[in-house]
Each structure stands twice: as structure tokens, then as C-alpha cells.
Amino acid sequence: MNQIETLYNKNLLLMTKQVLRRIYLVALVFLATLVAIWWQRIQTPQPMREAVFERIETVQVDEPIQPIPLQISLDRGKVALGEQLFHEPRLSSDNKISCLSCHALNRGGADNKAFSIGVNGKVGNINAPTVYNSAFNAYLNWNGKFATLEDFTTAVIQNPTAMGIEWQVLLPKLQRVPDYVRAFNQNYPDGLTATNVVDAIATYLRSLYTPNSRFDRYLRGDKSAINATEKEGYRLFQAYGCVSCHQGMNVGGNLFQKFGIMGDYFRDRGKITKVDLGRYNVTQNEADMFVFRVPSLRNVALTAPYFHDGSARTLEQAINIMAKYQLGRSLSAKDTQLIVQFLRTLTGEHSELKSGDR
């Protein structure tokens, strides 16, 4: 029996307590909604606590989901430099892969693949999350390993499957480009350094927010922004208990949850891998087996396939898997479609997103 199987069997002992706990939570969905409202009011995502924004304009509404700010002010020079670096294939060891390769801005900030392809054709082992609205997440990566966009950016650059490059190789490459040397000297007193490369990219990532979705307009008071079908989908989203995890400004991104509370998702799917162990890979705490950061549902209609393993190809499939394994429910086709219609109202605005996506 290998290590993963041993950990899996130990984890089964925790299932009964977790199932009972989830039944209790589902029975108290209304209370969970109230807690969600309270949580989103007091909780501020880690990247935002670092005072990296020059100005951020927010509003509070009496709903478990909050609208994205219409305006965020950032250093324009650093944003422009970060954007250039985001599109730069020289950030990879083979000079072929850029951040954009796995996070296409016209595809919801992801790449619509189960697993992304990195340097030298290497295939990753986990689904690439969207970069849109990542500044509003309290935790980054599926296992929540990173607390800041700077830490996340550094890890991706050095990840042997993603960009696969070390600073002693990357910095000389960039220093041979006069435009980069000039831009860094203009925006940073100490010029082109590893810290400043990361800062510029992270600043650009903070600019990738998608405000003014139809649902946000509804939250701000425009009751005609979503139709009766979509409102019913939102009601069901709350009534079934989805909102107990998917709440706050990013409709997720601020909590951890076990994947498979009301059923054994991984046993049913088969072929358990190390990545499936989730947050356990960070904490080595057996209670964190199969625990993942709850993903944001902003722009979710654009970011298929879904889950860390990219196993759900459609929103309908993802909703039904969540209902079965997280809530212990079987949804009717009608209710599933109503929730899908609500989720489509979460697509926001950005110059890279086509108007037809909303």
C-alpha cells in the first residue's frame, strides 16, 4: 500500500464526523447565509491588506455576495510594465511560454484546458485558475499555498513545469532588452531586479478585475439588470446552501473546504494522485486531506473545465457534482438550469472580454 492509499484510508475515519457536520450545516442554511454576510463584511483579502492599491471604492449591500468595486487606482506605469511582462515569452526557459499562455484574458483568464502546457511541452497536473479578480482572493492556488500575488508570481516563474526559469538566467535576458531597462529605471529607483519584476507583474494582476456584471448592477440597486429566471436561480443558489461557501466579493476565494463531504468524490473518480490531497500538501495535517480553496465563481461561465482536476466540462456537470458530493442533494434539470442562468450573470466587464460573453 503506497503513501497516498494509506492517507486515503486514514481519511475515511474522518468522513462520519464531517458528514454529520455537513448535514447540520445544510439544515441551517439560513444561518450560514447570515454568517456569510458577516464574514464578507469583516474579511479583507490578504493582497488588499498590503495597501498596494492607491484607492479602492467599495460599497456594502445586505447580501452574502458583494459587488466588485467599479474603480481601483493603481500605479499606471507599473501596470503597463507588468502587462508587457505578462505577455513576455522570455520569462520562460524555452522563450515560448508567457503568463498569457495559461491565462488567456479573452478566455476568462484561463486556458479552457484541464491541464496547461508549460515549458518544453510539459503538461501540468492541476487546472489553471483564472487570473481575473485574483486580488480579491484571500488565498491563492488550489491548495492555498500562497498568501500574496507576489509569492504566487515568484513560484510560477520558477516552477519547472510552468515557466521553468531561475533569476540568474532571467534577469540577464531582460537586461539585454533596452526597453525593459528603461521602463524599470522609470518606475523603480533600483531599476531591474527580481523583486521589481515580481512587483510589476503583481500590480498588473491587481488591475485584472471585472466589475459591473449584471448581478453586480442588481446588487447596486438596478433590479432590472437580471430577469426573473436569473433571480430564481440566485434564490436556489442560496436555498441549496451554495452561498455558504461561495460568498463575499469574489463569490468564493476566501475559504477552504473538503471536496467530498457528503460522498467520496475521489473514490468514485478513481486514480487518486498527490495533487488530489489538496491542502495536505501544504500543511501535512491529515485533517486537510482533500481540502481545497473554494474557487471564485466570477466569470465562471467562461472558465470551463472546472475543479482542480478539470473533470467537469460544463457548468451543468459541475453544479450536479457539487450538489451530490458537497450537499448530498440531487438537483432536478430545471433547478440546475436556473442556477446556471444565475451564474452567467456573474460575468463582468474587461476590455479583453467580448460583450457577447455577458
Rounded-to-integer distance, Cα 63 and Cα 256, Å:
21
What's residue 301's pLDDT?
97
3-state secondary structure of 153: helix
Q: Which pLDDT score is estimated for 41?
A: 46
Q: How many CB atoms lie within 10 A of CB 227?
A: 12
Q: pLDDT tens digits, residue range 133-190?
A: 999 999 999 999 999 999 999 999 999 999 999 999 999 999 999 999 999 999 999 9
Residue 40 has pLDDT above 60, yes or no: no
The whole-number pLDDT of residue 60 equals: 82
Structural domains of the chain in order of their starting residue, each with its CATH number = 3-46+212-357 (1.10.760.10), 72-206 (1.10.760.10)
Which whole-number Å values give the CA distances from 120 to 65, 114, 174, 275, in the listed order? 41, 18, 20, 21
Using the predicted structure, report yes or no on whether residue 356 has a pLDDT greater than 60: no
Residue 163 annotated as part of some ligand binding site:
no
Element (H, E) at 75: none
pLDDT at residue 128, rounded to an integer? 96
Strand partners, 56: 72
- What's residue 353's pLDDT? 85
Residue 87 in marked binding region:
no
Distance CA 277, CA 61 (A): 36
Q: What is the pLDDT of residues 103-126, one digit of tens each?
A: 999 999 999 999 999 999 999 999
Count CA atoms closer than 13 A to 337's CA, side-chain side. 4
pLDDT at position 35 over 60: no
The mean per-residue pLDDT over the stretch 64-70 comes to 96
Q: What are phi and psi of 121, to 5 degrees?
A: 75, 10
Rank 46-55, 95-104, 346-355 by mean pLDDT and report only the highest.
95-104
> What is the phi/psi pair of residue 183, to 5°?
-65, -40
Q: What is the pLDDT of residues 210-259, one digit of tens each?
A: 999 999 999 999 999 999 999 999 999 999 999 999 999 999 999 999 99
Q: How far apart are CA 341 and CA 227, in angstroms?
A: 10
Compute φ and ψ for 306, nearest 5 degrees: -115, 165
Annotation-wise, does 350 bind a ligand? no
pLDDT over threshold 50, residue 46: no
CA separation, residue 308 to residues 84, 176, 233, 331 (Å) = 28, 38, 25, 22
Question: Which residue's C-alpha cell is 476566501?
Answer: 254
Q: How far is CA 8 from CA 3, 5, 16, 20, in A?
A: 8, 5, 14, 19
pLDDT (tens digit per residue) in 271-317: 999 999 999 999 999 999 999 999 999 999 999 999 999 999 999 99
Secondary structure of residue 268 in the 3-state scheme: helix
